[in-house]
Amino acid sequence: MMPFSSITDILSYHQEAPMLFNSELFLILFALMLLFYVLLRKRNTARIIYVILFSLYFYYKSSGIYFLLLVLVSVTDFCIARWISRSRSKGARTALLVLSLSIDLGILGYFKYYNFFLSVFPGFKPADIFLPVGISFFTFQTISYVVDVYRGSIRPEGRWIDYLFYVSFFPQLVAGPIVRASDFLPQIRRQPEVSREDFGKAVTLIIFGLLKKAVISDYISVNFVDRVFAAPALYTGIENLLGVYGYTLQIYCDFSGYSDMAIGIALLMGFHFKNNFDFPYRSATVTEFWRRWHISLSTWLRDYLYIPLGGNRKGKARTYVNLMATMLLGGLWHGAALKFVAWGGLHGLALCLNRFLTRKWKWFKRFGSEMKPFQRFLGIFVTFHFVCFCWILFRAGSLETARQMLTQIFTDFHPEVFPQFVSGYRTVFILMVAGYMLHFLPRRTYDGIRGFITRSPLLLQALYTALAVLLAVQFAGAGVQPFIYFRF
């Protein structure tokens, strides 16, 4: 029987140890939760309440008492959306939409940007404000719901518990993907069914996600990448460059690993999410990259920011302004610091340049679906290294750290150090090579692996999952690492 102190730990919030998908505690609790979930599959309301309670517990284990913030947002936007649908006055509807946006963005602004905006004033002392995990994700999700009701794209939800289920659903609650109400809400009322194909896909996604996050991302981060970014001046240029390549792989494996697990866990419960990553480093242009990277955010920014600003409908100059504004705000969404704004600005400039060159010269128009193999290779090479360059700003602790790293790369390269790196960081090097090789494997290879797992007996599927968990535990020498996007 489990000691009382252990039960107390399970029920208590520990800021230094938030609940993570790749933790043993979550895997055990989810397995138990899924057992009772299956028993309730034909009792719709009881099943919804059961999942809500587990989701709120999950968020409580991630952010403590701030789970009440999630409940508050669900109440205000549920009510406002219903008032919008009942109002016949356009002015009143617009006022209600502004009220909803003010509440959501006000909450997000206080917790995430209060210190950032007030830091411009001399003598300002930053306030000690706790940042609830994933606040940017669930606020964007609930904003999209109210805006869609305002536009008439969807009808307002009739039951508050259904809407709370949508906002709090634990697989994607703290780090996405950002799920649209039009895609998710109709699935709530259906009796959950998981076909053999769905089950195999879910198991594959969970295994891949766990290996990407707990084995590749965490290991190269703790054992190499973090050290280089902490003190780039202590390393040669080639080590700094390898650190950049390492972080480029780390952030992809970390975030796409979370998305894979979130989509897989939701699929085990009978819910279908859209893909959030589509091998982004295979992109031949920056425009293509943003169609493959964090797809739920890029499409959200397109539909709820870029298009409302005018999109490409108000002339060439306005299109470039809208692109820049969207990417600058997208950068700010990632964090309250100038480095994130600079990161978003660089991507905005690249998108504008890509659009300009594509319209100006016929040769650049070939950088699309019709490009030749060499053109695509060249495009992938240039785009990948531009993205790597931007990740330096994203990861560096400050702009000065980014400057030091670039200085080392361009003035103190020393390629002769490479053999020493391979011998001194053998496991890191092997994981980096393996990670990039897996990323550039043909899509049919992944389809083949998924088909193999799907056709395997249930006992073997459980064995594959257990082996992935065991491997993840073996590599977790420094403990379970939080997901990078938890702080967004």
Q: Write the secondary structure of the chain as one string of H (helix), E (strand) and C (coil).
A: CCCHHHHHHHHCCCCCCCCCCCCHHHHHHHHHHHHHHHHCCCCHHHHHHHHHHHHHHHHHHHHHHHHHHHHHHHHHHHHHHHHHHHCCCHHHHHHHHHHHHHHHHHHHHHHHHHHHHHCCCCCCCCCCCCCCCCHHHHHHHHHHHHHHHHHCCCCCCCCHHHHHHHHHCHHHCCCCCCCCHHHHHHHHCCCCCCCHHHHHHHHHHHHHHHHHHHHHHHHHHHHHHHHHHHCHHHCCHHHHHHHHHHHHHHHHHHHHHHHHHHHHHHHHCCCCCCCCCCCHHHCCCHHHHHHHCCHHHHHHHHHHHHCCCCCCCCCHHHHHHHHHHHHHHHHHHHCCCHHHHHHHHHHHHHHHHHHHHHHHCHHHHCCCCCCCHHHHHHHHHHHHHHHHHHHHHHHCCCHHHHHHHHHHHHHCCCHHHHHHHHHHCHHHHHHHHHHHHHHCCCHHHHHHHHHHHHHCCHHHHHHHHHHHHHHHHHHCCCCCCCCHHHHC
> Mean per-residue pLDDT for 176-188?
90
Catalytic residue among 14, 272, 294, 334: 334
Angle (nearest 5°) at CA 95 between 87 and 341: 135
In three-state form (DSSP H/G/I as H, E/B as E, the rest C), the secondary structure along 443-483 is HHHHHHHHHHHHHCCHHHHHHHHHHHHHHHHHHCCCCCCCC
Query: Each residue of 220-262: pLDDT tens digit?
Result: 999 999 999 999 999 999 999 999 999 999 999 999 999 999 9
453 pLDDT above the threshold of 70: yes
- pLDDT at 351 > cutoff 90: yes
- Tell the residue number behind the tokens 């968020």, with chain if given: 59
Domain boundaries, the chain: 13-192, 197-284+371-487
More confident residue, 316 or 24: 316
Each residue of 402-411: pLDDT tens digit? 999 999 999 9
- pLDDT above 80 for 427: yes
With bands split at pLDDT 50, 70 and 90, how would you rate the model's confidence at 397?
confident
On the question of pLDDT at 5 being above 80, the answer is no
What is the average per-residue pLDDT within 101-116? Answer: 91
pLDDT at residue 487 is higher than 70: no
What integer pLDDT is reported at residue 175 of this predicted model? 75
pLDDT over threshold 60, residue 479: no
Span of 82-86, 170-174, 257-261 with lowest mean pLDDT: 170-174
Please, are residues 167 and 74 in contact by the beta-carbon 8 Å criterion? yes
pLDDT above 60: residue 282: yes
Contact of 144 with 178, CB cutoff 8 Å: yes
pLDDT attached to residue 64: 86
Average pLDDT for the chain: 88
Q: Give dist(CA 75, CA 57) in Å, integer.
A: 18
Reading the block at residue 185, the tokens are: 């809400």
Q: Closest Cα partner for 393 from 462, 331, 452, 454?
A: 331
pLDDT at site 2 = 41
Looking at residues 95-114, what average pLDDT do you find?
Answer: 93
175 or 75, higher pLDDT: 75
Find out whether 52 and 170 touch, Cβ atoms under 8 Å: no
pLDDT: is 9 or 289 the higher one?
289
- Read off the pLDDT of each residue in 47-68 and give the average, rounded to a whole number: 91
Residues in the chain: 488
The pLDDT value given to residue 4:
40
Residue 487 or residue 404, greater confidence: 404
Tokens of 451: 């088909």
* Catalytic residue check, 334: yes
What does the pLDDT read at residue 129? 83
Residue predicted with more confidence, 132 or 279: 279
Alpha-carbon 350 to chain mean position: 22
Flag whether pLDDT at 466 surpasses 90: no
> Is there a contact between 339 and 116 (Cβ–Cβ < 8 Å)?
no
User: Using 50, 70 and 90 to split pLDDT, how confident is the model at 1?
Assistant: very low
Reported confidence tier of residue 3, pLDDT bands at 50, 70, 90 = very low
| 0.85 surpassed by pTM | yes
- Cα separation, 172 vs 51, in Å, equals 13
Give the pLDDT score at 399: 86
56: its two tokens: 């709120």
Window from 124-138, 307-321, 362-376, 406-420 with minimum mean pLDDT:
362-376
Mean pLDDT highest for which of 22-26, 207-211, 471-475? 207-211
pLDDT at 361 over 80: no
pLDDT recorded at residue 172: 87
